[in-house]
Amino acid sequence: MEKADKKEYVLSLLVNNKPDVLARIAGTLGGKGYNIDSLCVDITMNPKVSKIILTTRTSKIMIGRIVNALNKLLDVIRVENLSEVESIKREMILIRMNLMKETKPDLMKAIDILNCKILTFNTDHCVLQFTGSREDIDKVLSTLQPLGIDDIARTGAAALERKY
């Protein structure tokens, strides 16, 4: 498969909230040579059901095979390809910044321009939060990188089909 044929797909799975379900899903994909780029999992309004949002880069033919393989798993209730419908996708990132005297004014300006939320702020570090598209988060990271990023934690995509 040519690299140009690959694109990002976002799948939404409803599954029974049981031990080992996520491991079987990951094993199904990994066993067939598919990589999971991001994963977001939590219970739904029904505590017996979990929602898994996963992203992967593959071809249109292969995503059909992935969906079919996942639908065959016992505890999978439903699989939706959110890339084929209008959907809302967001990621969240926490960024711990080193506070240095020489970069602090530029950092404060960047925080304001980028609309980052300050969660903690002390004499030598601050922790920022930002929520947006993957592209927005990449832009925030590239802007803040020269200003002293110490560490990050990124969620991966959360997504919902947009209904009218």
pLDDT tens-digit series, residues 92-131: 999 999 999 999 999 999 999 999 999 999 999 999 999 9
Residue 142 — very low, low, confident or very high, per pLDDT cuts 50/70/90?
very high
pLDDT tens-digit series, residues 16-64: 999 999 999 999 998 888 899 999 999 999 999 999 999 999 999 999 9
Question: How far is residue 50's CA from residue 82's CA, in Å, rounded to a whole number?
Answer: 17
What is the pTM (predicted TM-score) of this model? 0.85
Residue 1 — very low, low, confident or very high, per pLDDT cuts 50/70/90?
very low
* List of E strands, the chain: 7-16, 38-43, 49-58, 76-81, 87-98, 117-121, 125-132, 149-154, 158-161
**pLDDT score, position 164:** 80
Instruction: Say which residue, 32 or 150, is predicted with more confidence.
Output: 150
Least confident of 3-7, 31-35, 69-73, 139-143: 3-7
